[in-house]
Amino acid sequence: MLETLRTAVRSLLSNKIRSALTMLGIIIGVAAVITMVAIGAGASVNIQKFISGVGSNILIVMPGASTAGGVRQQAGSASTLTVQDAEALEQEAFALKGVAPEIYSRTQLVYGNMNWSTMITGSTPSIFDIREWRIADGRFFLDGEARSGAKVVVLGSTVAKNLFGEEDPIGKTIRIRNVPMDVVGVLAPKGQTPWGQDQDDTAFVPFRTAQLRLFRRAAANSVQRITVSALNGDSVSEAEREIKAILRQRHRLSERETDDFDVRNMAEMLDAAAQSTKVMSLLLGAVASVSLLVGGIGIMNIMLVSVTERTREIGIRMAIGARGSDIRTQFLMEALLLSVAGGIIGIVLGTSASKIITGILGWATVVSTGSIVLAFGFSVFVGIFFGFYPAWKASLLNPIEALRYE
């Protein structure tokens, strides 16, 4: 076997360029599989981080759709939710841990000669616990400030950076719609959502402040959404049932009437996103695997050419005692060496490409040991599979006919 290995290495090195070109398909295939799977795994990790940051036990209650001229508008266009609805959920629902009514609008923030447009959300202090926000500097606004409508604001890290740069924002006064607001806190960064939205490009003010001073909504007590959190992940379904029962009773809806609100389960939405990412990762890996098959066909093609070129050599080996199994083993060894060498180079290129993608494009990639083993194992299998026929054909040559071959 050692002599067969030496012979195979000498044969491949005698045609370096041809051997390199034969390996190219395997190299590209292995590198593509590792890179594509790494991109898919990175997307899955991003979704898991987002789930842990948002909370999988969160439900969002949106108003129903309004109708104009017989045409139903998008969900949330009607004013069917009120502050009293949020208070009723907080008092009557047993499966809920926190309830926070919200009104929001994209608004310009001004500090000195700097300005920044962001989403301003008016809510209660409960929103920070529900959304699992952490404070990086300063503090959250307090219950007393929320009830009195104090002119205070908590900024996301993106907003703070764009308004203040390196300056400490705590205690500074900014203007929101010409209303002076004191900055009392800066939120810890959360990063982007899986669909590319910057979670830190936001600001929070007390609900009463937004209601009376900033937005002055036409419907005095209406809210644009109510964000709630269930006691735990297992009680999300029960919490959803309680929310629907309480709101239908408050809105006096009969059994035949449809809900004038919409309850959105964040866990289901995020699970669907995770499943889509998983399927996409598998599809990317499958598409990349086609390159390995193409590389295997290249190996078989070159090995068939090699058998034809070395027919006299095969005849001489058989004439001095080589068996068909020896010839078959030699050509299989050459195919295996091509696939193994191509697989090793492809692993290096694939892991390097994943790091380059992360560094240049900023995409999260995760190169797993499993993907490396899978790609390398598949490349070895392809080499053996497509190398068997040329080796088998070489082993069946008639020694006399092979010696007479020109």
Token pair for residue 341? 């060498």
pLDDT reading at 102 higher than 80: yes
Helices 324-361, 2-13: axis angle to 10 degrees equals 60
Higher pLDDT, 216 or 343: 343
C-beta atoms surrounding 122 within 10 Å: 28
Do residues 226 and 83 touch, judged by C-beta distance below 8 A?
Answer: no
Tens-digit pLDDT profile for residues 242-292: 999 999 999 988 888 888 888 887 666 666 666 766 777 777 777 777 777
- Take residue 293 and report the two structure tokens written for it: 């098959």
Higher pLDDT, 216 or 61: 61
Q: What does the pLDDT read at residue 211?
A: 87
For residue 189, pLDDT beyond 60: yes
Question: Which residues are CB-neighbours of 169 under 8 A, at least 6 positions away?
Answer: 137, 155, 160, 163, 183, 186
Give CA–CA dist 23/295, Å, rounded: 7
Q: Is 254 exposed, middle or buried (0-12, 13-18, 19+ CB in 10 A)?
A: exposed
pLDDT at 170 (0 to 100): 94
Top pLDDT among 69 and 284 is at 284
For residues 354 and 35, the answer to whether their CB atoms sit within 8 Å is yes
Instruction: Pull the structure tokens for residue 306.
Output: 């090699």
Let me know: does 221 contact 26? Beta carbons within 8 Å.
no
Answer for the pair 306, 359: CB distance below 8 angstroms, yes or no. Answer: no
The 10s digit of each residue's pLDDT in 291-324 is 777 878 888 888 787 777 777 877 787 888 777 7
Cα gap 255→276, rounded to integer Å: 36
What share of the chain has pLDDT > 90, as a percent?
26
Q: Tokens representing 90? A: 């907080």
Instruction: Supply the pLDDT for residue 76.
Output: 46
pLDDT tens sequence across 127-139 = 998 888 899 999 9
Sequence-distant (≥ 6) Cβ neighbours of residue 345 within 8 angstroms: 23, 27, 30
For residue 246, what are its two tokens? 């309480």
* pLDDT, average across residues 153-171: 92
pLDDT at position 71: 45
pLDDT given at position 376: 86
Say if CB 322 and CB 9 are below 8 A apart: no
pLDDT (0 to 100) of residue 116: 93
- 397 or 217, greater pLDDT: 397
Residue 100 has what pLDDT? 92
The answer to whether 74 touches 65, Cβ cutoff 8 Å, is: yes
